[in-house]
């Protein structure tokens, strides 16, 4: 259920990155306050454990298919929410870098979807109340599996929301929800069962491991308030900035920087950069079909943007699409040639 770069917009990726970065800083600060640094190697090795355990596939009875562990819930139970969030984030980062699961811009989404919900919602509000202060195997199992299911459902729902907000996919909301939630319910039930089984096994073999984690003695009391306040601040700030960008230019984040800069320069005529760019545009716009409107000699940049909005990219005329295809093929050939030459060059030296 890794979100992919190809399906998100810069705004969605940016907001989720900001939220994840805020959470990471918050968690890192929480960990720094601990007087004992035994969690440092523990987190690292447990992250590697989750990595390895995810790759041991198990067969699901009567279906012939196989599943693997998600791991967020196990980490939260063993490490507490803050350390678990950082560990999950590190696992997802390595997966994004080495296996291309998701992508670098979607990493913020993925860490949020798979780390925030299990660590900061499912663990404190579902697992802990059910497992209680004096856990029994049944309560641990019930708490761990329920938390795993709900955590995954929230994660899947976040994928739906992020995809819709980006608008790259044309899937309607209800279809997408009906597609994602049942699939992840099935995955979640299997994962819940496995999570419960692993936690119970550890509890039977080494009850002290779970007790230190759940007692709250060593890992500190947990409060959601700073997290929620931080997220709200991040959302407001990024939302505000992004909507300002978006309103300055109807084409989303289409270099609003450039446009706003262009507007400022219009107020100060005779600016060398602006003139240079305008001249460059005149020289390059040798295809009348595809009008590169020079940023409005008479009007403001906002007015210059309007015709573009009225005639967006989808309204391709025959002329532009043919030159687009010819040019596209040529660009690819050109890129291939550059690559070939560079490779020869790097071998030569």
Partner 1 sequence: MASIDTALVSIGALNELASQDTHIHRLDPRAKLITTVLFIVTVVSFDKYAVSALLPLVLYPVVLTALGDIPTGAIIRKVLIVSPFAVLIGIFNPFFDREVLMHIGGVPVTGGVISFASILLRFFLTVGVALLLIAVTGFEAVCQALERLKVPRAFVVQLLFLYRYLFVLLEEGLRIRRAYALRAGDTRGVAMRHYGSLSGQLLLRTLDRAQRIHQAMLCRGFDGRIRVARSLRAGPADVLFVLFWCLFFFLARRYNLPLLLGAFMEGIV
Nearer to partner 1, 121 or 194 (CB): 194
- Under the binding rule (CB under 8 A), the answer on residue 69 touching partner 1 is yes
**DSSP annotation of 60:** P
Question: Closest approach of Cβ 142 to partner 1, in Å?
Answer: 15
Site for partner 1 in 181-220 (CB under 8 A): 190, 193-194, 196-198, 200-202, 205-206, 209
Question: Closest approach of Cβ 116 to partner 1, in Å?
Answer: 15
Question: Closest approach of Cβ 56 to partner 1, in Å?
Answer: 5
Q: Please name which of 43, 151, 147 lies closest in space to residue 90, comparing C-alpha atoms.
A: 43
Nearer to partner 1, 151 or 196 (CB): 196
Tokens 């716009």 correspond to 285
- Under the binding rule (CB under 8 A), the answer on residue 347 touching partner 1 is yes
Nearer to partner 1, 269 or 286 (CB): 286
- Under the binding rule (CB under 8 A), the answer on residue 255 touching partner 1 is yes
Site for partner 1 in 274-313 (CB under 8 A): 284, 286-287, 289-290, 292, 312-313
Segments of 51-189 assigned E as strands = 58-59, 66-67
Token pair of 127 as six digits: 């697992």
- Under the binding rule (CB under 8 A), the answer on residue 24 touching partner 1 is yes
Tokens 């005329």 correspond to 317
* Dihedral sign computed on CA atoms, order 158, 1, 189, 45: negative
Nearer to partner 1, 303 or 321 (CB): 321
Among 73, 84, 86, 231, binds partner 1 (CB under 8 A): 86
Cβ-contact 114, 154 below 8 angstroms: no
Nearer to partner 1, 7 or 150 (CB): 7
Total residues in contact with partner 1, by rule CB under 8 A:
122
From CA 27, how far away is CA 119, in angstroms rounded? 11
Nearer to partner 1, 182 or 327 (CB): 327
Site for partner 1 in 128-157 (CB under 8 A): none
Give the gyration radius of the chain's Cα atoms.
Answer: 26
Question: Closest approach of Cβ 196 to partner 1, in Å?
Answer: 8
- Under the binding rule (CB under 8 A), the answer on residue 172 touching partner 1 is yes
- Under the binding rule (CB under 8 A), the answer on residue 80 touching partner 1 is no
Q: Please name which of 141, 171, 176 lies closest in space to residue 156, comparing C-alpha atoms.
A: 176
**DSSP annotation of 288:** T
x/- track of binding to partner 1 for residues 27-66 (CB under 8 A): xxx-xx----xx-xxxxxxxxxx-xxxxxxxxxxx----x
CA of residue 138 relative to chain centroid, distance: 35
Per-residue burial over 242-258, b if 16 or more Cβ lie within 10 Å, else e, is beebeebbeeeebebee
Cβ-contact 92, 111 below 8 angstroms: yes
Nearer to partner 1, 228 or 337 (CB): 337
Cβ-contact 72, 115 below 8 angstroms: yes
3-state helix vs strand vs coil in the chain, percent to 5: 75, 0, 25
- Under the binding rule (CB under 8 A), the answer on residue 73 touching partner 1 is no
Nearer to partner 1, 284 or 298 (CB): 284
Instruction: Return the H-helix or E-strand segment holding 154.
Output: helix 137-166
Question: Closest approach of Cβ 338 to partner 1, in Å?
Answer: 6
For residue 207, how many other CB atoms are within 10 A of its CB? Answer: 11
Stretch that binds partner 1, among 169-177, 215-223, 262-270, 298-306 (CB under 8 A): 169-177
Nearer to partner 1, 125 or 258 (CB): 258
Stretch that binds partner 1, among 103-111, 118-126, 131-139, 262-270 (CB under 8 A): 103-111
Contacts of 226 (CB under 8 A, 6+ apart): 26
Site for partner 1 in 229-248 (CB under 8 A): none
Cβ-contact 102, 2 below 8 angstroms: yes
């Amino acid at each position: 259920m890794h979100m992919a770069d190809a399906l998100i917009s810069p705004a969605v990726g940016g907001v989720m990155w900001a939220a994840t970065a805020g959470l990471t800083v918050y968690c890192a600060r929480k960990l720094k306050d601990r007087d004992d640094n035994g969690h440092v190697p523990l987190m690292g090795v447990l992250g590697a454990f989750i990595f390895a355990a995810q790759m041991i596939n198990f067969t699901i009875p009567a279906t012939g298919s196989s599943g693997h562990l998600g791991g967020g819930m196990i980490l939260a139970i063993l490490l507490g929410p803050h350390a678990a969030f950082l560990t999950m984030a590190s696992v997802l980062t390595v997966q994004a870098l080495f296996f291309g699961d998701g992508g670098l811009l979607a990493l913020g989404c993925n860490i949020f979807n798979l780390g925030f919900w299990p660590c900061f919602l499912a663990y404190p509000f579902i697992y802990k109340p059910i497992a209680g202060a004096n856990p029994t195997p049944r309560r641990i199992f019930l708490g761990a599996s329920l938390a795993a299911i709900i955590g995954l459902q929230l994660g899947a729902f976040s994928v739906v929301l992020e995809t819709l907000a980006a608008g790259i996919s044309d899937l309607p909301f209800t279809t997408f929800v009906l597609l994602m939630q049942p699939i992840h319910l099935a995955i979640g039930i299997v994962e819940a069962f496995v999570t419960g089984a692993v936690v119970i096994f550890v509890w039977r073999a080494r009850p002290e491991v779970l007790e230190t984690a759940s007692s709250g003695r060593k890992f500190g009391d947990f409060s959601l308030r700073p997290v929620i306040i931080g997220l709200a601040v991040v959302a407001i700030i990024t939302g505000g900035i992004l909507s300002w960008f978006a309103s300055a230019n109807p084409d989303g984040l289409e270099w609003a920087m450039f446009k706003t800069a262009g507007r400022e320069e219009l107020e100060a005529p005779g600016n060398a950069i602006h003139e240079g760019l305008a001249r460059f545009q005149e020289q390059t716009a040798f295809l009348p079909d595809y009008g590169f409107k020079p940023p409005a000699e008479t009007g403001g940049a906002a007015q210059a943007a309007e015709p573009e909005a009225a005639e967006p990219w989808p309204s391709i005329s025959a002329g532009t699409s043919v030159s687009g295809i010819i040019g596209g093929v040529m660009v690819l050939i050109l890129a291939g040639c550059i690559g070939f030459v560079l490779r020869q060059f790097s071998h030569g030296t």
